[in-house]
Amino acid sequence: MRCAESLTTSADPAKGCMRPVNRYIRIISLSLLYIFVAEVPGLFLNICQASGGDQFRLSRREKAFGMHFSDQKNGWIVGDNGLALKSEDGGESWQRVLISKGDTFNDVFFVGTKGWIVGGGGVIFHSADGGKNWVKQSASGTEPPGIKSNIETNRTCLAPEPSSSLQQALMKVHFLDQDTGVTVGADGTILRTQDGGASWENVSPDWMGLMPAEMMDRGIISVNLYDVMFLNEREFENTNIPFHGLL
């Protein structure tokens, strides 16, 4: 399968102005389908199956950052500026879904009909009905809109949307089941939920100088200048590596 070679610029496909841009290609997800996306805006998004890949054209100002298929039929793609695409036929066709304008979505994950999207500024969105409706969550749980009051200043204000105290970008999200999940992000941020996202516990380590945490098959890995820390389902532990010096 040579799907990467079909990723081409979208300057003017009708005139044949299509050339490979392999040097910019990066794999953002490997699942039941493969997806390749270029770093430069205005390039084709390529979905590749075993029988070959078909191109889905994004607008010139959109970038895709994350993809997840919950089964062979149902999949999602998320990205910059609130980009959300849904497929119900194994990636043969994609429909745009309006969730939030302006937010950067970095990753998406579904367990059955329940789904989560994470992104810039600590944003978390949750759907309980297969992606038909989405509710904004925060590190402290779902915060409904309404009138907020400040006792110290004796002022009130209208909060039209849920707010989040977390400012670090969330990059990856993964759920073991419909209740237990983890999201990781910048500055070594690691959040864990055991109630489907109704509340999130910050389980980030206290060490200074942490790099962005990364999701692995068996757990989470986080790196600072001198150590590699591994988080399994219960606790952090040091991981010895055959290397001397700064990471």
Residue 183 lies in a domain: yes
Q: Which residue has the higher pLDDT, 182 or 4?
A: 182
The Cα–Cα gap between 216 and 29 comes to 13
pTM above 0.85, yes or no: no
Which pair of structure tokens corresponds to residue 121? Answer: 């500024």
Q: Has residue 189 been placed in a domain? A: yes
User: Among 5-9, 52-56, 59-63, whose mean pLDDT is lowest?
Assistant: 5-9
pLDDT of residue 162: 45
**Does residue 47 lie in a domain region?**
no
DSSP state of 40: S
Decide the pairing of beta strands 146-150 and 155-159.
antiparallel
- Which residue, 168, 189, 170, is CA-closest to 126? 170
With cut-offs at 50, 70 and 90, classify the pLDDT of residue 73: confident
User: Domain for residue 205, yes or no?
Assistant: yes
d(CA 15, CA 102): 33
Q: Would you say residue 34 lies in a domain?
A: no
Sign, Cα dihedral of 123, 128, 134, 136: negative
Radius of gyration of the chain (CA): 20
pLDDT value of residue 191: 85
Convert 206-238 into a string of H (helix), E (strand) and C (coil). CCCCCCCCEECCCCEEEECCCCEEEECCCCEEE
What is the maximum alpha-carbon separation in the chain? 65
Number of domains the chain is built from: 1
Position 156 in a domain:
no
Q: What is the CATH number of the domain that holds 90?
A: 2.130.10.10
150 within domain boundaries: no
pLDDT at 195: 92
Computed over every residue of the chain, the mean pLDDT equals 66
Is it the case that residue 3 has pLDDT exceeding 50? Answer: no
Q: Which domain holds residue 68?
A: 64-141+162-238
In a domain, 1, yes or no: no
Q: Is the pLDDT of residue 35 over 80?
A: no
